[in-house]
Amino acid sequence: MDLIEALGWRVTAIGELIASDVDLVRSPKAPHGRIRKRGEVDKEGVDMWVPLSDSARAAVDAVLRANPVIGARPLFPAPKAQRGRTAAPWSRYHARDLLERAESAAELEALDGSDFHAYRRAWATARKHLPAADVAHAGGWRDLRSLERSYQRVDDETLLAVVTEPRKLRDVKSN
């Protein structure tokens, strides 16, 4: 769940992460390391590396402590992997089952918006104040229209800012 909330990716792209998709080397452009979304596991075929946030790095570190893997091994191996065979990654159905069990155990109602899409929408909406092109790239949207139309939602705080914080535009006269 921490990776879902930190990355804003589809659950399939996260469930199918492999160890070589994680680069824990810190750099000026990626102070917490970076993570790769592979095009072959993404609905839209987006293949990219993005920097990890502090919370995403903590989540990756926790996953690697629980399941120390390298190379092409899944970070989230399927629970019924057969002994001696290459482990398969989690399916979105397994992830959804875990989400539903967690919600039930916590006595929470499911978020409106069908499984993990609600978290993807929340991720996109929390970044409305940032340039849409950058939000779309980090979240794996190829099309700004779908990001803005289907994922970024109107919220009370932003709506209030729209009506109470106008910027005065003035013509600049050249001398």
User: What domain range is 112 assigned to?
Assistant: 2-79+89-164
How many folded domains does the chain comprise?
A: 1
Secondary structure (3-state) at 31: strand
Residues, the chain? 175
Residue 159 lies in a domain: yes
Predicted TM-score of the model (pTM): 0.81
Q: Domain containing 16 — which CATH number?
A: 1.10.443.10
Residue 133 lies in a domain: yes
Q: Are strands 22-23 and 48-51 parallel, antiparallel or unpaired?
A: unpaired
Per-residue confidence (pLDDT) for residue 84, from 0 to 100: 53
Residue 47 lies in a domain: yes
Per-residue confidence (pLDDT) for residue 59, from 0 to 100: 96
Per-residue confidence (pLDDT) for residue 105, from 0 to 100: 93
Residue 172 lies in a domain: no
Per-residue confidence (pLDDT) for residue 171, from 0 to 100: 63
Per-residue confidence (pLDDT) for residue 155, from 0 to 100: 79
Could you list the pLDDT tens digit for every one of the 175 residues in the chain?
Answer: 899 999 989 899 999 999 999 999 999 999 999 999 998 988 888 889 999 999 999 999 999 999 999 999 999 998 876 555 667 888 888 988 998 898 889 988 877 667 888 888 889 989 988 899 999 889 888 888 888 877 888 878 877 777 788 777 776 665 5
Residue 117 lies in a domain: yes
d(C-alpha 137, C-alpha 156), whole Å: 25
d(C-alpha 74, C-alpha 51), whole Å: 20
d(C-alpha 90, C-alpha 84), whole Å: 18
Residue 29 lies in a domain: yes
Residue 23 lies in a domain: yes
d(C-alpha 141, C-alpha 147), whole Å: 7
